[in-house]
Amino acid sequence: MTSFVTVSELVKENDLKVYGGKELLDDRKVTTSDISRPGIELTGYFDYYPSERIQLFGQTESAYSHSMTANNRYKVMLEICREDTPALLISRNIKPSAELLRAAKEHKVPVIGSELPTTRLSSMVTEFLDQKLAPRESIHGVLVDVYGIGILLTGHSGIGKSETALELVKRGHRLIADDRVDVYQQDEKTIVGEAPKILNHLLEIRGIGIIDMMNLFGAGAVRSESDIQLIINLEDWSPDKNYDRIGTMENKRAIFDVKVPQITVPVKVGRNISIIIEVAAMNFRAKNMGYDATKKFEENLGSLIKENTQNEEGNK
């Protein structure tokens, strides 16, 4: 888990402008994804001022501050700019006042901005900080994008996860991460997976070594991240184990607070695992669209039983 994001990262990755305090960007740290719009603070009320948040000035805040006298505006800006304030953020290309820049300089608070409307800017920055500050976990597995479905392949070392991923890429699908998958919870329903920086676009094949998937197959063969929508656990086939043959066994694996659907696929000589995974992805999508082949089979079975029962009663 990352405990902070520097204002420098925030500026670079969101294409923000710097109005003042450029030399402070690497030192100022953002520790929360919450953003504050200092409306009531502009009136002089600071009893519950969340100074540890980025302070966002939109059109309303800027217009109100410009209605104040220069002296009062400077005093209020001094109160807003505190030791733990990461940055002042201004939307809509609004030019910061001289008093704001002066107060920010005195308290060593960077002043940054964007041309985006206030609501869009707030959403963009919050989403970025949510992603960067979210708790993270590393999972042993391979993450692939199959027909737009993020599938996490799990199983013991040597079961063939990487080889399966290679076959899937050759069939037109995309690799996100091999061996280790860094995951974080984006919201109440979404888990996102990505590769550790050191393993980005790389795949290990025993007997060959490390291969660069982007170099060999092109940019269309990889993705930087993907939602994890389905987990497929690969395990050695055992004649003593009862595997799901109809599709009624609904298992889920909890990752943080999200329960992700999981199926088990037995690995055996002669089984084409990559094709099975493709079908699993298509079947998962069909279920999400409202079509469930298992329910269709149960309905057909029920109709057949009912028909046979009626025939038997008719022959008595």
* Residues of each domain in the chain carrying CATH 3.40.1390.20: 5-133
Which band of pLDDT confidence, cut at 50, 70 and 90, is reported for residue 248? low
The pLDDT of residue 3 is 84
Among the four given CATH numbers 3.90.1150.10, 3.30.70.3040, 3.40.309.10, 3.40.1390.20, the one describing domain 5-133: 3.40.1390.20
CA 117 to chain centre: 24
Coil, strand or helix: which one is 3?
A: coil
User: Binding site membership for ATP: which residues?
Assistant: 155-162
The pLDDT of residue 129 is 94
CA distance 307 to 143: 46
Query: Alpha-carbon torsion 109, 115, 119, 120, what sign?
Result: negative
DSSP tag of 94: P
311 vs 229, more confident: 229
At position 294, the amino acid (one-letter code) is: T
Residue 118: is its pLDDT beyond 80? yes
CB–CB of 73/99 below 8 Å?
yes
At position 254, the amino acid (one-letter code) is: A
- Which stretches of the chain are assigned E, i.e. beta strand? 5-6, 17-20, 29-30, 35-36, 54-57, 88-90, 111-113, 136-140, 142-146, 149-154, 174-177, 180-185, 191-194, 202-205, 209-212, 225-227, 230-236, 251-255, 258-267
The pLDDT of residue 187 is 84
The pLDDT of residue 78 is 96
Which band of pLDDT confidence, cut at 50, 70 and 90, is reported for residue 293? low
Residues belonging to the active site: 140, 161, 179, 245
Percent of the chain with pLDDT strictly greater than 90: 76
- For residues 122, 127, 133, 139, the Cα torsion angle rounded to the nearest 10 degrees is 180
Mean pLDDT (whole number) for 192-198 = 93
Which band of pLDDT confidence, cut at 50, 70 and 90, is reported for residue 87? very high
Residue 299: is its pLDDT beyond 90? no
Predicted confidence (pLDDT) per residue in 18-66, tens digit: 999 999 999 999 999 999 999 999 999 999 999 999 999 999 999 999 9
Which band of pLDDT confidence, cut at 50, 70 and 90, is reported for residue 244? low
Give one DSSP letter per residue of 114-161, joined into a string.
-SS-HHHHHHHHHHHHHHHHS-EEEEESEEEEETTEEEEEE-STTSSH
Mean pLDDT (whole number) for 147-172 = 94
According to CATH, the superfamily of the domain at 136-295 is P-loop containing nucleotide triphosphate hydrolases (3.40.50.300)
* Residues of each domain in the chain carrying CATH 3.40.50.300: 136-295
Q: Which backbone phi and psi does 15 adopt, to 5 degrees? A: 55, 50
Residue 246: is its pLDDT beyond 60? no
Residue 17: is its pLDDT beyond 90? yes
CA distance 284 to 262: 11
Residue 223: is its pLDDT beyond 80? yes
At position 200, the amino acid (one-letter code) is: N
The pLDDT of residue 306 is 67
CA distances (Å), 42 to each of 49, 67, 201, 210, in order? 11, 11, 49, 57
Residue 133: is its pLDDT beyond 60? yes
Q: Which backbone phi and psi does 28 adopt, to 5 degrees? A: -80, 130
240 vs 297, more confident: 240
Residues 6+ positions from 57 with CB-CB distance below 8 Å: 37, 38, 65, 88, 89, 90, 91, 94, 96, 100
Which band of pLDDT confidence, cut at 50, 70 and 90, is reported for residue 300? confident
Least trusted range by pLDDT, from 63-67, 148-152, 238-242: 238-242
The pLDDT of residue 289 is 83
Predicted TM-score (pTM) of the model is 0.74
The pLDDT of residue 276 is 92
Please classify residue 47 by burial: count the beta carbons closer than 10 Å to its beta carbon, then call 0-12 exposed, 13-18 middle and 19+ buried: exposed
